[in-house]
A and B are shown apart, each in its own frame.
Chain A
């Protein structure tokens, strides 16, 4: 499987969840785990460009696919990705635990709808829980992200 552009062998144990594989086998700990039953969205990654729950996939299922995680959004030392930048400007994060999941969901949204309506924004983040921010700042951040990405 390809993860953020580089090739990796899938794990030997078929019951390894993709989320655990990314975090503990590949050291990509930016993908977080908040529930392991698909509700919180902390573990959201892109599978072939589309946001999916990595806690609801076996790692072996990703073989032959391309997985993108938060670590791949901006290269080390490079400026933040527009979605990251927007979350920073709008305080779309506090503890930062839910953040990678939101970022990947929003990256998925903007790929499909570069200029999303408020309804599309709501729908795109409606499956992610955040216990810190109360979401208003995240909604602002998504609109700001669309603005920054459009530039």
Chain B
């Protein structure tokens, strides 16, 4: 392989369409579809005493109104996606609630009408009588269990888990210094600019269901729909077309609409579509981040960590469809890039009457990073060394890989860091950050993190050279904007010796590639990227084989360059990939495109049958890549901020990122991922807080009040790279999608503490919080 494209700042191939307004997002698909709307519970916890849909059904333009009793799957609990032995009390919701609702926004009825306006009119006249039940809303209240979210779940505890490496009690007792810290995180929302949407069509004559879904995992949706509707998977097509951002919560099985829309399309014999509006996005789409940590740390005079224990409550929300992946990730990621000789972590995942949780970019890691980094800052202050030095003294060193952490990881294995160079990250970031700017109320923040990326189980790819010489490639995972089509084309182009422009990549369309898992956990490049490489290499080998026969050369002496297979050392001797694609498929009937060369009276490749035993026609291959374990990316962020001591307005003066995601396929694309991640991190640190009141009502369910940063709130970000290749996969890559967001809270928190001199132990912050922290009042907790 010549690496002509790998590592280059190749410009994105997906832009042209999107820039011209010719993207194809789910709501763009129409085809005479009926429109629909969900009736959602206004209560966070209530018993439903009656539902009356008669008035809604009678409204002109209304086609159907469904409640649970109308659904053949109405009394099935939706699946727990990732069961776990510690999830002793997993609970999921039903498609439509008929007895008890457990969060405001839970779906109760589904209206299908000629237009969304009419569907909303009808939803307004669906009469549901509720008997309100008491509500628990914060993680602490969930754990205190004054009220139960599920009658049959004692203490509201869905799961608990305790892990210990070494002997924490003994090491803590022996430690010269000890410290206890308390950290708190509130909920936030991913808020992709495109809300969720589903469009479905049923063809009775073909018995085929076609679903467009703005999901991060069309292959799983297809599996689920085929089970539910009793159809062979080959009769169910699920396509994630252009997806307008996902960031985690667009991966679920199932949101109610993902079943209701296909069901209604089958029932009504017309395409049906549902497009979420922003208001319901805030209450009905999974959220994340609510946790409360109690940390105890033991250390020596030098600030070296001796023992660390973290006991945390994880706010699961009303149901646990995603299992306990989030707290498992948090538990595994607290130690980060540091040696923690004795580590104990335990958590309780507790139910609350709030929207269920599932990963949002960062997924349990921002909390872990914040807890560890703030703990280190606090130790540094106590032993009187600077923030960089405390980290230097505790880093895992470059010669200690593979590094076994000894705690469980989200893929069922235990955590092993594959490679990294943490001291180098820090020194480079400090150099980029430069001296502290002059002025008052300026603070410096620092955060170093690791990120387990590229989890399995696997992804696959199909790569084919067409008789035109152009290449098509497909994988199961969709893209939500991460430029998969560009970076995968780079990987394939290198393997096949063609131009990036000659490779067209499709993702997220089960018609093109039916197997795979999805886009999440910073895994696209690792899993699908390597699958692309595997498949393209198989195609290259096949091309060499055929060319070898034609040229009468040992395939080992051939190389793929410039769209041809040629003899190493004598570049004039070769044959085009297009010609090989023709020869790869022995035909009886020439159909143009040069295929006469592969007919039976044309020159023969070799004696024997046209296809040798086990040989398949076509210059194509399907390959898979299944990672042996996660790849561990890492990075260091550092910043200077200024806080107005009177209004508590935040200004980020300088923000630098040094990032290591192994070998970079396309630095341009990775930098885009980082910049976007940091912006989300800044939102999560200072602007974005889902504010539930005591009744469980979300009080800021709009973009007017849930404050996503605009350009005016996001600074320039300077990015540096280091590359420690992953030894685990052929490309040497690690994931990069989530990295930008992980340490931002820790960095901003640490910088604000430095600027104002008040202890920062919670996320997100706001001018109001800083005002209150700056003037402690008696009696305030």
Report how far A27 CA is from B27 CA in the complex, Å. Answer: 11
* Structural contact, A122 and B278, CB atoms closer than 8 A: no
* Structural contact, B278 and A35, CB atoms closer than 8 A: yes
B686 to chain A, nearest CB (A): 15
* Structural contact, A91 and B672, CB atoms closer than 8 A: yes
* Structural contact, A42 and B193, CB atoms closer than 8 A: yes
Report how far A24 CA is from B32 CA in the complex, Å. Answer: 10
B42 to chain A, nearest CB (A): 19
What would 15 more interface pairs be, CB under 8 Å, given A84-B19, A131-B191? A23-B28, A31-B21, A32-B194, A33-B27, A37-B278, A71-B20, A88-B19, A95-B193, A97-B244, A103-B19, A122-B712, A128-B710, A133-B675, A135-B675, A138-B711
Report how far A31 CA is from B708 CA in the complex, Å. Answer: 21
Give chain B residues whose Cβ lies under 8 Å from the Cβ of A125.
711
Which chain A residue has the least Cβ–Cβ distance from B117? A15
* Structural contact, A97 and B25, CB atoms closer than 8 A: yes
Partner pick for A133 among B18, B676, B712, CB 8 A cutoff: B676
Interface residues of B in 700-714 (CB under 8 A from A): 702-704, 708, 710-712, 714
Give chain A residues whose Cβ lies under 8 Å from the Cβ of B191.
131
* Structural contact, B21 and A122, CB atoms closer than 8 A: no
Counting CB contacts under 8 A, is B79 at the interface? no
Report how far A98 CA is from B19 CA in the complex, Å. Answer: 10
Counting CB contacts under 8 A, is A62 at the interface? no
Report how far A67 CA is from B101 CA in the complex, Å. Answer: 45
Give chain B residues whose Cβ lies under 8 Å from the Cβ of A134.
672, 674-680, 714, 717, 740
A interface bracket (residues with beta carbon within 8 Å of B)? 35 or more
Counting CB contacts under 8 A, is B693 at the interface? no
Partner pick for A136 among B244, B708, B716, CB 8 A cutoff: B716
Counting CB contacts under 8 A, is A1 at the interface? no
Which chain B residue has the least Cβ–Cβ distance from A125? B711
* Structural contact, B710 and A126, CB atoms closer than 8 A: yes
* Structural contact, B676 and A94, CB atoms closer than 8 A: yes
Interface residues of A in 114-136 (CB under 8 A from B): 122, 125-136
* Structural contact, A80 and B18, CB atoms closer than 8 A: no
* Structural contact, A80 and B244, CB atoms closer than 8 A: no
Give chain B residues whose Cβ lies under 8 Å from the Cβ of A133.
672, 675-676, 679
Partner pick for A35 among B23, B481, B702, CB 8 A cutoff: B702
Partner pick for B20 among A23, A73, A89, CB 8 A cutoff: A73
Which chain B residue has the least Cβ–Cβ distance from A142? B711
* Structural contact, A39 and B702, CB atoms closer than 8 A: yes
Number of B positions contacting A (CB below 8 A):
57
4 closest pairs, A vs B, by CB?
Answer: A30-B21, A95-B481, A97-B244, A96-B18
* Structural contact, B193 and A97, CB atoms closer than 8 A: yes
* Structural contact, B244 and A96, CB atoms closer than 8 A: yes
* Structural contact, B12 and A91, CB atoms closer than 8 A: yes
Partner pick for A131 among B15, B21, B117, B245, CB 8 A cutoff: B245
Give chain A residues whose Cβ lies under 8 Å from the Cβ of B2.
none
Give chain B residues whose Cβ lies under 8 Å from the Cβ of A129.
193, 703, 708, 710
Counting CB contacts under 8 A, is B277 at the interface? yes
Residue of B191, B244, B668, B702 with highest tally of chain A CB at under 10 A = B244
Residue of B30, B242, B480, B710 with highest tally of chain A CB at under 10 A = B710
Counting CB contacts under 8 A, is B22 at the interface? yes
Counting CB contacts under 8 A, is B325 at the interface? no
Counting CB contacts under 8 A, is A63 at the interface? no
Counting CB contacts under 8 A, is B243 at the interface? yes
Report how far A59 CA is from B717 CA in the complex, Å. Answer: 41
Give chain A residues whose Cβ lies under 8 Å from the Cβ of B110.
none
Counting CB contacts under 8 A, is B151 at the interface? no
- The answer to whether A131 and B12 touch (CB under 8 A), given A91-B672, A94-B672, A126-B711, is no
A21 to chain B, nearest CB (A): 12
Contact surface of A with B, Cβ cutoff 8 Å = 13, 15-16, 20, 23-24, 27-37, 39-40, 42, 69-71, 73-74, 80, 84, 87-89, 91, 93-100, 103, 122, 125-139
Which chain B residue has the least Cβ–Cβ distance from A83? B19
A-B contact list, 30 entries, CB within 8 Å = A16-B117, A28-B21, A29-B25, A30-B20, A32-B25, A32-B193, A34-B193, A34-B244, A37-B704, A39-B704, A70-B19, A73-B21, A80-B19, A88-B11, A88-B19, A91-B671, A93-B15, A93-B18, A93-B19, A94-B245, A94-B672, A96-B23, A97-B481, A126-B712, A131-B193, A134-B672, A134-B675, A135-B675, A136-B717, A137-B672
Which chain B residue has the least Cβ–Cβ distance from A88? B15
Partner pick for B19 among A32, A35, A87, A137, CB 8 A cutoff: A87
* Structural contact, B117 and A94, CB atoms closer than 8 A: no
* Structural contact, A95 and B243, CB atoms closer than 8 A: yes
Report how far A94 CA is from B14 CA in the complex, Å. Answer: 9
Which chain B residue has the least Cβ–Cβ distance from A40? B703
Counting CB contacts under 8 A, is B610 at the interface? no
A3 to chain B, nearest CB (A): 12
Residue of A20, A39, A127 with highest tally of chain B CB at under 10 A = A39
Report how far A98 CA is from B28 CA in the complex, Å. Answer: 14
A49 to chain B, nearest CB (A): 18
Which chain B residue has the least Cβ–Cβ distance from A72? B21
* Structural contact, A88 and B16, CB atoms closer than 8 A: yes
Counting CB contacts under 8 A, is B482 at the interface? yes
Give chain A residues whose Cβ lies under 8 Å from the Cβ of B18.
93, 96, 99
Partner pick for A132 among B242, B676, B710, CB 8 A cutoff: B676
Residue of A32, A100, A132 with highest tally of chain B CB at under 10 A = A132
A99 to chain B, nearest CB (A): 6
Give chain A residues whose Cβ lies under 8 Å from the Cβ of B15.
87-88, 93, 96
* Structural contact, B20 and A74, CB atoms closer than 8 A: yes
Give chain A residues whose Cβ lies under 8 Å from the Cβ of B702.
35, 37, 39
Give chain B residues whose Cβ lies under 8 Å from the Cβ of A127.
710
Report how far A91 CA is from B676 CA in the complex, Å. Answer: 12
Counting CB contacts under 8 A, is B483 at the interface? yes
- The answer to whether A130 and B704 touch (CB under 8 A), given A80-B16, A94-B483, A99-B19, is no
Give chain B residues whose Cβ lies under 8 Å from the Cβ of A29.
21, 24-25, 27-28
* Structural contact, B244 and A95, CB atoms closer than 8 A: yes
- The answer to whether A95 and B480 touch (CB under 8 A), given A131-B191, A132-B676, is yes
* Structural contact, A96 and B703, CB atoms closer than 8 A: no
A122 to chain B, nearest CB (A): 6
Which chain B residue has the least Cβ–Cβ distance from A87? B19
